[in-house]
Amino acid sequence: MTIVYEVGKGIYVNLTNRCPCACTFCLRANAPGVYGSPALWLEREPTLEETLAALDGCDWTRFGECVFCGYGEPTERLDVLLAAAAHMKARHPGVRIRVNTNGLSDLINSRATAAEFAGKVDCLSISLNTDDPAEYLAVCRPKFGEAAYPAMKEFAREAAAAGIETVMTVVGEPVTSQEKQARCRAIAESLGARLRVRKFESA
C-alpha cells in the first residue's frame, strides 16, 4: 500500500481513493500510478498512525515539500490531513506543506473548512478548471451538482482571506485557450488567489 511517494523534490501523501468528482481528464483513469510512482490504488485507507509513520520514514533533508495529493481528494479525510500537516509543521518546520484539492471540502464535510488549514498548510492548490459553471459540471461531473462550482470558489475566497497562499489551476492549451485562461485568471484574482496554468499531459 503506497501512502507516500516521491515526485521531484516533493513527498506526496496518498490518503484516500475517494473523490466526489469523476473528471473526464483524471489521470487515474489511465494508469495505476503517476510520474513513475508505485500503484496508488489503496487496499484500505491508511490510519493516521500509519500516515505519520510513513512521513517520519522519509529523509526530509532531501525534500522541500510535502504535498497531500494521491489517487483521491485529500479533504475526504480532512481530520487525518490536518493532523498529519500539523505533525509535519512541528517536526519539520522548514518543509512547505501543500494540498492539491478540488476545493469541495465544505460540501464534503458539511461545514466551512478553509480557515482550518491556517497554520498547518502553506498553500492550497485548487482546481478551477474552467470559467464556465456549465462546462465545470460537464467536465468534472461532481456528485454535488450545481452547488459544486460556487462552493469551490467560496472555499478559495475563504482560504485566501485566512492568509493561506491560494492558487487556482487550469490545464493549458489545447485544453484551455488563452482567452479562457485570461477569464480564469480574473476569477482567481477576484477571490484573492492567483492562477497557475498546468502543462497539458496527454494520455
Distance CA 71, CA 65 (A): 18
Read off the pLDDT of residues 62-73 as tens digits, 9 standing for 90 and up: 999 999 999 999
* Average pLDDT score over residue span 161-170: 97
CATH of domain 4-198: 3.20.20.70
Residue spans per domain, the chain:
4-198
Write the CB contacts of 196 (distance below 8 Å, at least 6 apart in sequence): 125, 167, 168, 169
| pLDDT tens-digit series, residues 4-57 | 999 999 999 999 999 999 998 887 777 676 777 888 999 999 999 999 999 999
What is the C-alpha to C-alpha distance for residues 4 and 58, in angstroms, rounded to an integer? 9
Q: What is the pTM of this model?
A: 0.94
